Each structure stands twice: as structure tokens, then as C-alpha cells.
Amino acid sequence: MKFVESIRRDGISKFTPENRWATFASGSAGWIISEEDFFKSEAISMLKLRGSYGQTGNTNIPSGITSDYYSVRTSSTLGIPSTEFISVGNSDIKWETTSTLDFGVDYGLFNNRINGSLAYYVQSVKDMLLAVALPYSAGISGGNIIWQNVGDMENRGVEFNVDANILNGDFKWDLGFNISYNKNKIKALDPDSDANNVGITQMEADEDQVITIFKTGLPLGNWYMAESAGVDPERGIPMIYEVQVNDDGTTSHTGNIIPATSDNLANNRMILDGKTSLPKFVGGFNSSFAYKNFDVAMNFSFAAGNYIYNRLLQSTLTPNRGVRALSNKLLTEAWQNPGDNAKWPRVVMNVQHYYDDEGNATEDPVTYGTEEKFISSMYLEKGDYLKLKNLTVGYTLPVRIATKMKMQSMRVALSATNLFTLTKFSGYDPEVGVNQTTGASLVSYSSIPQARTYSLGLNINF
């Protein structure tokens, strides 16, 4: 049995001197059972039990958040200099600490032609660094937020991988597969949020619209918005479920379906159960073939169980003074006549309909959100995908020919990345990042998909 231990102390200048330094410890132990005298197996060539514990620190927040910041600007109407409050600081901010405990088994079968591992882990995050919303009355021009160490979070999961040498003659074939499952849960927030069960809501950048919620018992960045009930077949207006907030802070349907006006959208936000930007499963598999001097290698990746807010789709389905490109779905999938069971509402300018909050006809137009403010699950899509990340086809010149050409070896290879993606997500690319502040994944008109690239390489050794 072997033990390994380490300890480190890190510091960063963005914190005050009192909170600048933090100490992190780690250790691991392993026992190769297959090397013991009592272990005898023809099928199992290697068997190892292992465990580890480690701590890491996170300081991934903006610099300068420990102090208040002001600026002096001149009023455009009165021409009088005034002081503007840019951001509110927090001198008590400190390191976020992640502690990970894992146990696993490594194995090799049939003279290690098959090998891999199975592991279970528990990851605890203490003193989470979160941007907590302040009331609008705070008047912070740089955003009504303050960074704080708020609460604890936990990740639990299982990781499995296997690699196998299937064939090993003139035709060689190697195959590998890995998958991991993760369950995320917030264990605690600040005392006030936990006491009144409201949690901490997060807004979409630059649009002041609540889209996610951090709440004890929920996963990180649970989607929090009006829940779409589709399109009214008689009037062609978007509908949502009416929501009630329970004493424990959870939300539930009242049984009524109401028009998706601006007021109804803001007052009927639903905690969408289990829907976050965090995939429940991620993994991949790879396969490589070789026959004489030819070789082929491919690498796939996948993710499942996450949801993405498609702002790009929302933008192209919203006529807005003709300033942006529109989707042809408006011609084929939008409501047109009473009785239509359409996927999208009737086409109107600036999301204005002549129906009020109760769905009664009105003489004046009622705003059903705006392009930026209509936040509902109508544009929330599953982000599951399977992607061919890399494909390489190569040829190695036979040694006898290479020798005659005064070379030790020569190999030519054609490679491609992001060759294809299988997904039901309607945006450019479902493989998008998660905002560290809001816990949200969004695709907008400014999002750039991953490039598909082709390359030809030549490797010569003399």
C-alpha cells in the first residue's frame, strides 16, 4: 500500500491582507491487490483500490471587489458634475474552497487487453463566491450586485472508463469509452435567503431579466422563468401557466393558463424542476483502426440532461422594427387562423397583441414582453448532443521505401475537427459554456459556434 500527501499555501492580491492567504491539503492511498500473494486469477491481470482527498481554491471573480468605487460625471442635461456609485465592495470576501473525496478501483483484464476504472466521488464547495443581487434602490450604476461568500454546494457522481485492444494482428482495433454522472445540489445559502425560502435570483446580462435561481435543495443555476403553455389556437397569443409560490418557497401551477403579457411573465415565474445548464451525463468514446500502413482514429463526445436558452431563436422570431434577420419559421410554423395548433404565436410587431392579462380583447395594444424581455420556457431547449470531435486518416510510408529516400520514416495525415453533431437543439452549436455568475447557458445572435477545421500534415524523420 502506498500513501502520498501534500500541503500548499496560496495567496492572491485581489483579497484584503486578512483574507489573502489560504492553505490546501491533499493525500492519496492505493493498494494493488493483484500483486499480493493470496491473489490468483487468470482473467484479472491488475486490480487496484485507491482513494484520495484534495482541496483546491477558487478566486474566479473580478478584481477590485473589496472596495467601493465611484466616478465623477457631468450631467448631460444640467451640465453639473455629480458623483456616480459604480460598485459596492466587500472587504470580507475570501477564498472559495472545494474539497473532493473519491474512491475507485482500477482494473486490467486478460493481460491488460481490457483496462479501465470505476470511481465514486463527493465534492463539497464551501464559501461559494456569488454575485448577490441588491435592490434597485441601491442605485449601483455598474450593476446592483455585491460579491459575497454565500453558502455551500455539493457534487456527487460516478465516473467509468474502459479501453480495449479488440484486435492485434495485421488489422488492429482499439476501442475506448468513458462516461460520468454528476448530481449537483446547493446545501446552504446565506441565513436570510434560507430563512425566508426565497433563494437568490440571477439576471441575464444587460437585460435585467431574472432567468435562474440559487436556492437550498436545488441544483446550481436552476432555470427560473415563466413556463410556456404554448399558443392559444383561437387567438394566436402566447400562453403561460399561472403560478403560486408556496410557503417553503417552491412554485406550483394553479391550474390556470393565462396570456404571456409583460406583467404575467414577471409575476408567474416557475422554478423549472431539475432544469439547469449543467449536463447530468458527459462522456465520449474513441476508436482507432490500423491495417498495414493505413490508420484511422476518431473521437466522439456527448452530453445529456442540460437545457440552453436560445436567445438567437427568440430574436429571429420577433419582428422588431425590421432591424434584424427573421426566421422562415414565421412563414411556416406561426399561427395564422383560428383553430391552428401552431408552434409559434401570430406574427405581430414588437410582441404587441390586443388582449389584456386575462385574455380579453382590448382597443389598445398590450405588450407581451419585448424581444429582450420575453423570458419564458418557450425558448428553452434541451442541449443533448453527440459530436464527432476529431477524425484522422493517415498513411505511413513503408520503411524500405523510406530508407531508399534517405528517410527514417514519413507519415501523411488528413484531420478534421467538429465534423458533425447530432442534436435536437435548433441553435448553431449545443456545446456552449456556462456563465459562472448566473449558472446559465445562452445562445444569442452574437454567439460564435465552434469552427469546423480540416488540416493536412506531413511528418518526416531523417
State how far the alpha carbon of 336 is from the alpha carbons of 232, 233, 369, 410, in Å: 11, 9, 20, 64
Unique residue bearing C-alpha cell 448631460: 76
| Set of cell numbers at residue 326 | 427573421
| Set of cell numbers at residue 422 | 447530432
- List the chain pLDDT tens, one digit each, 462 residues: 778 789 999 999 999 999 999 999 999 999 999 999 999 999 999 999 999 999 999 998 888 888 876 666 655 556 677 677 777 889 999 999 999 999 999 999 999 999 999 999 999 999 999 877 777 667 676 667 788 898 899 999 999 999 999 999 899 999 999 999 999 999 998 877 777 777 888 876 555 577 999 999 999 999 999 999 999 999 999 999 999 999 888 999 999 999 999 999 999 999 999 899 999 999 999 999 999 999 999 999 999 999 999 988 988 888 876 657 889 999 999 999 999 999 999 999 888 899 999 999 999 999 887 555 678 999 999 999 999 999 999 999 999 998 888 899 999 999 999 999 999 999 989 999 998 778 999 998 778 888 999 999 999 999
Res 181: pLDDT = 98
DSSP annotation string for 43-110: SEEEEEEEEEEEEEEE--S-TTTTS-EEEEEE-TTT--EEEEEEE---TT---EEEEEEEEEEEEEET
State how far the alpha carbon of 380 is from the alpha carbons of 194, 229, 404, in Å: 28, 13, 62
SS3 assignment, position 32: strand
Strand 409-423 and strand 238-245: the pairing is: unpaired
Are the C-beta atoms of residues 287 and 298 closer than 8 Å to each other?
yes
Q: Taking the complete model, does pTM exceed 0.85, yes or no?
A: yes
